[in-house]
Amino acid sequence: MATTTTQLLSTVTHRDTLPEGYARPESDRPRLAEVATDSNIPLIDLASPDKPRVIAEIALACRTYGFFQVTNHGIAEELLEKVMAVALEFFRLPPEEKEKLYSDEPSEKIRLSTSFNVKKETVHNWRDYLRLHCHPLEEFVPEWPSNPAQFK
């Protein structure tokens, strides 16, 4: 499903103002002066031999913060740098090339999209993303449980 390239933020030329549909009304914007800062972002060591504890820490971090940071994930820095370089290269492709992968259909195996729900949102979120469905995680890290229910 193709779309006009104007829907993809990575095709927008530099602007001094937000494109229409991306500016939230003042009443819906975060009040940054009221935001509490927290320097205790959960830090989870994936190399810990105590796997049940790691799972519990992930579950707690998800319930409490909604996110966490990991250390000792086993992904080489060189690989991370290559992934970032390829991503940058992809998002710098000409709009007509990127548009070939554009889809709002969540079941697509490979899709480029923007925002969270373009069809239903009244104000869009400022993001483009490329989603690649790949092999299940358990094929790569078999020692980790793959039952998402245990993270609730």
* 6-60 confidence digits (pLDDT tens): 567 667 666 677 777 778 888 888 888 887 777 788 999 999 999 999 999 999 9
- Could you give the percent of the chain with pLDDT greater than 90? 27
Residue 116 lies in a domain: yes
pLDDT at 145 over 60: no
Q: How far is CA 105 from the centre of its chain?
A: 17
- 106 contacts 119 by C-beta, under 8 angstroms: no
A 10 A CB-CB count for 94 gives: 9
Residue 48 lies in a domain: no
Average pLDDT, the chain: 79
How many domains is the chain built from? 1
Residue 127 lies in a domain: yes
Q: Give the pTM.
A: 0.60
* C-alpha–C-alpha distance, residues 26 and 24, integer Å: 6
> Residue 128: which domain range?
94-151
Residue 124 lies in a domain: yes
pLDDT at 151 over 60: no
A 10 A CB-CB count for 115 gives: 20
Residue 40 lies in a domain: no
Residue 147 lies in a domain: yes
- Residue 51, token pair as written in the block: 């796997």
Residue 139 lies in a domain: yes
Residue 121 lies in a domain: yes
